[in-house]
Structure 1
Amino acid sequence: MNIPDHIQNLISKYEQGLLSATEKKELDNWYHSFDDQQTVVSDVPQGSEDELAERMAVRLQESLAADEERLEPTGVPARKWRTPAAAALIFILLSGVIYYFIQLDNTAAQQPLVLSAPVPAGDVAPGGNKAILTLDDGSVIVLDSAHNGILGEQGDVDVKKLDNGLIAYQNQDGNIPAAEEKIFYNTISTPRGGEYQVTLSDGTKVWLNAASSIRFPTAFRGADRQVQITGEVYFEVAHNETQPFKVTAGKSAIEVLGTHFNVNAYDDEVQVRTSLLEGSVKIAVIDQPDQQQMKILKPGQQARMTRSGRISVVNNIDTEEIMAWKNGLFVFKSTDLRSIMRQIARWYDIDIEYKDNVGMQFTGQITRNNNVSKVLEMLELTEEVKFRVAGKKVIVAR
């Protein structure tokens, strides 16, 4: 039996406090689907968590046997990776599973039992659910520490923090804002080491990766719905044929009616990449009225725009790799090390220093829920590269 990707994602979301009641029930049902009654946490006497961990590790090892959970450099035989990578993945998953189910079943305990160890000295914890909301008047709300409920009012729109930690913009009393009313603009930004999700007033769902931002009106009025982004953002746009949804990212102007797509527009990447999962999007260059560079994407295509404004289209993209960040994973498929380290730097809020020229590529995956040392250890198994963590800096050498 393989552990489904969405179950791994649920475990990651639980540790970040993002699970809804429905998702918690699904995770609970999955756990209790193990027919080995010895794995049920409520049957384990107090103080025998180590025995539970050992039994769960055996079960997870069996489940992972058929999986491709390994991390290997392109061209290096897989046999060097299989055992260490599988063991690391079991440890990653196990820490989340044990934490969740012991906390779930020991409801009588005054303090929840957390088996995950504190971050050791010389290591760096992973990122989490962190963001800052800047209101139209310039006031700032730290979302990860804000209370649930209404955070503020922007005209006739309530800004709410929901019980699952997400942010939603809701029209008061369900009224449609009048076109002549003042438009309020808000910005949600994530730091390095942060991610966040927001539902806009039209129902569009937005996920922000680390070091990203979105500026948007609290209510969409007029002929279209316009937002501006930086960094990496995934959209599930609410369909509205009469009001196209437009995204500005660098020089890219993206227009949709209702669709799912990801935009990677980090300043330290050489291209703005727009990847379409479903629906249709139109890509154009800002301030080029002749539209000579305009492209229309189909699902499974990616538009790549250079800083000078040239657009190319790539077919048959790997959506698993592109959407890995949203699913709580690092997924590398013949990915060069410098690109990998840029992702690591954003998620762990660290700086990278290169002592040697490194040009190797890697293929594999690992959860983003680890301390940085675990990710680096996976890469070091190639024996092609070495890392040293010095405070908030990672030094890379051959």
Structure 2
Amino acid sequence: MDLEAIDIQTLIVADILGTITPDEKTQLDKLMIDRPELQALYDGIREDMETENLAALAGGSISAAELITRARKRVRNRYIRVFTAAACSIGLVGGLSYYLLTPQQPATLASWEDGKTILLKIGQQEINLESNATTNVNGVALHPGTGSLSFSSLNSNTHDLGVLTVPKGKNNYKVILDDGSEVLLNNTSRLSFPLKFDGANREISIDGEAYVKVATKAGHPFIVHLPLNRQVEVLGTEFNVNTYDSGIARISLVQGSVKVAKGENSALLIPGKTATIDSQAISIHEFDANEVLSWRDGIIVFPDNVTIERIAEVVGRNMRVKMIVEKSAAGKKFIGVILDKSKPIIHLLQQLTDTKEVTYNISKDGVIHIL
């Protein structure tokens, strides 16, 4: 294999591990644009590294030498072998060793939205759900798995409330509630729920976006509380709720029937309709299922004529990167834009630049500037 190919793969590995420098990142982005065939290589390397959990090892305290030793023992894939050779040949080991051995200062979190892990709080106890470890809390057995949480009550009298948060940039997370109902949370979302439903009503609270499948239970209405005194009441149904936009709640009904309410005002929804609740009123209209529900598959389908400012906002929430729209690009609108969270941000940037309406650069601090 020629040196150029090794260098490219080294850049890709550094990008996945988060050790890439701003100049190297700019170089890699340009290569990905000029040579679209490199995307298959990037995806293959990332998949193999995720399989072997090397990125997680890099976040710990092991040395680069040990990381490479583990790669040699555990990974037979050609990409990791190339990473080992390339790291030794161009001095990446030294830089990576510094990164691994230097204590990383935790960032000051502005709110739960900027957290680092999917977290469940029960009273004063906090559980990192990404550890996938079964935990007993106050008579409740928690069974977290990859991307989901179920639980069983060992104490029939528990009245504990769980608060589950999925911060920015995380994958979707599903919670199976006490009655068998399911809540699939998008990133930057929070769910409050009782570990055991008792009484006539089943009540939860959602802030952000979620897809809810309600288990039918006659005589026990299911009520979803939303910010600013909004709520959804159902008996058995599937629907999407979205409260990302401050002051606005959108409830999109897939099947069944729901009643949405804001104070004394209420309205009934039928499948295929969305209720938009703002500070003034409740309005009903049809919704595009592809746009509203695609987030469940890790894809964001933007509506036609979406503004660049809206794209930047959604990218920031989903990809944990910062995108700034400069004055030269302000107000630009686009058609057919799709954000695939499984792919590097360069895919979205190429969609935007292919229109010839905008361009971009990446500053040394990693911020993407849309020009």
TM, length-normalised to structure 1: 0.63
8 Å contact from structure 1 (residues 92, 370) kept in 2: no
Aligned counterparts of 2:38 and 2:233: Cα–Cα separation in 1: 42
Task: Give the SS at the match of 2:336.
Answer: strand
> Which structure has greater helix proportion?
2
Name the counterpart of 2:316: 345
Identity %: 26
Aligned counterparts of 1:171 and 1:378: Cα–Cα separation in 2: 49
- 2:144 is the counterpart of 1:161: yes
Name the counterpart of 2:136: 152
Name the counterpart of 2:267: 295
Report the alpha carbon displacement of residue 97 of structure 1 after superposing the two structures with TM.
11
Name the counterpart of 2:205: 228
The gaps in structure 1 that reach 5 residues or longer are 1-49, 51-83, 119-126
Aligned counterparts of 1:218 and 1:185: Cα–Cα separation in 2: 6
Name the counterpart of 1:329: 299
- 2:226 corresponds to which letter in structure 1? A
Name the counterpart of 2:234: 256
Q: How do 1:130-279 and structure 2 match up within 5 A? A: 130-136=117-123, 138-144=124-130, 146-149=131-134, 151-155=135-139, 157-162=140-145, 164-172=146-154, 177=156, 181-195=157-171, 196-250=173-227, 251-266=229-244, 268-269=245-246, 271-279=248-256
1:244-295 deviations in Å (ceiling 9; x for gaps): 11111113210111211111101x455211111111111001x42xxxx311
User: How many matched pairs?
Assistant: 283
- 1:148 corresponds to which letter in structure 2? A
8 Å contact from structure 1 (residues 89, 366) kept in 2: no
Task: Give the SS at the match of 1:294.
Answer: strand
8 Å contact from structure 2 (residues 312, 324) kept in 1: no
Task: Give the SS at the match of 2:309.
Answer: helix
Aligned counterparts of 1:92 and 1:366: Cα–Cα separation in 2: 17
Aligned counterparts of 1:277 and 1:188: Cα–Cα separation in 2: 24
TM, length-normalised to structure 2: 0.67
Aligned counterparts of 1:355 and 1:309: Cα–Cα separation in 2: 33
- 2:201 corresponds to which letter in structure 1? D
Name the counterpart of 1:47: none
- 1:140 corresponds to which letter in structure 2? E
Report the alpha carbon displacement of residue 199 of structure 1 after superposing the two structures with TM.
1.1
1:90-114 deviations in Å (ceiling 9; x for gaps): 94699369947xx79xxxx831538
Report the alpha carbon displacement of residue 368 of structure 1 after superposing the two structures with TM.
1.2
Aligned counterparts of 1:259 and 1:205: Cα–Cα separation in 2: 11
8 Å contact from structure 1 (residues 148, 161) kept in 2: yes
8 Å contact from structure 1 (residues 211, 231) kept in 2: yes
- 2:341 is the counterpart of 1:365: no
- 2:136 corresponds to which letter in structure 1? G
1:114-167 deviations in Å (ceiling 9; x for gaps): 85999xxxxxxxx9x94111112x2212222x2432x22244x321113x3421
Aligned counterparts of 2:255 and 2:271: Cα–Cα separation in 1: 5
Aligned counterparts of 1:281 and 1:134: Cα–Cα separation in 2: 29
Aligned counterparts of 2:331 and 2:318: Cα–Cα separation in 1: 21
Relative to 1, partners in 2 of residues 1:264 and 1:96: Cα closer, same or farther, differing over 3 Å?
farther
Relative to 1, partners in 2 of residues 1:115 and 1:258: Cα closer, same or farther, differing over 3 Å?
farther
1:3-56 deviations in Å (ceiling 9; x for gaps): xxxxxxxxxxxxxxxxxxxxxxxxxxxxxxxxxxxxxxxxxxxxxxx9xxxxxx
Report the alpha carbon displacement of residue 88 of structure 1 after superposing the two structures with TM.
5.9
Aligned counterparts of 2:186 and 2:296: Cα–Cα separation in 1: 7
Name the counterpart of 2:22: none
Greater relative contact order (CA < 8 Å, ≥ 6 in sequence): 1
Relative to 1, partners in 2 of residues 1:353 and 1:94: Cα closer, same or farther, differing over 3 Å?
closer
Name the counterpart of 2:62: none
1:378 to 351, 356, 368: 351
- 2:75 corresponds to which letter in structure 1? Q
Task: Give the SS at the match of 2:74.
Answer: coil
8 Å contact from structure 1 (residues 337, 362) kept in 2: no
1:348-374 deviations in Å (ceiling 9; x for gaps): 123332221223132143421112222
Aligned counterparts of 1:188 and 1:159: Cα–Cα separation in 2: 13
Report the alpha carbon displacement of residue 242 of structure 1 after superposing the two structures with TM.
1.7
8 Å contact from structure 1 (residues 208, 232) kept in 2: yes
Name the counterpart of 1:46: none
